Amino acid sequence: MRNRSKVRVGPKVIHRHRVGEHILRRVSELVFVQEAPKAVLGWIDMAGDRTPVYLELDPQRLRPPRGSNGIFYYDGVTTDPRFAELEIAPPRAAKGRS
């Protein structure tokens, strides 16, 4: 695999991010795909190809950076799609003796 240790400098977004019941402040990479803003949460390796894990952002809640620092602010709470299934899973049934 190629060396991917080069530093990529691009726009960032600061957003409130929910993990379970906790909300924390997070800084993510910001990319625009067909002019739609997306926050890159991480990268996964799928058979040797790096694939981004990203979520779509509401453009109305994205505030442009002040000055030339390239840091955007998002006025909303994001949720990691990788943990969405864990929240909707039904509770496990208790085992009883018959």
Could you state, in order of their start, the residue ranges of all structural domains in the chain?
12-85
Which 8-state DSSP code applies to residue 66?
S
73 Cβ contact list (under 8 Å, min separation 6) = 13, 14, 15, 62, 63
Farthest CA pair distance, the chain: 70
Q: What is the pLDDT of residue 66?
A: 77
Beta strands (DSSP E) in the chain are 12-19, 22-33, 36-46, 49-56, 62-63, 71-79
Q: How far apart are CA 6 and CA 44, in angstroms?
A: 17
How much is the pTM?
Answer: 0.70
For every one of its 98 residues, what pLDDT tens digit does the chain have, with 9 covering 90 and above? 555 556 567 899 999 998 877 889 999 999 999 999 999 988 888 888 888 888 999 999 999 877 768 899 999 999 877 766 555 555 666 665 55
The CA radius of gyration of the chain, in Å to the nearest whole number, is 18
Residue 64 has a pLDDT of: 85
Q: What is the pLDDT of residue 61?
A: 95
pLDDT of amino acid 28: 93
Tokens of 13: 């977004």
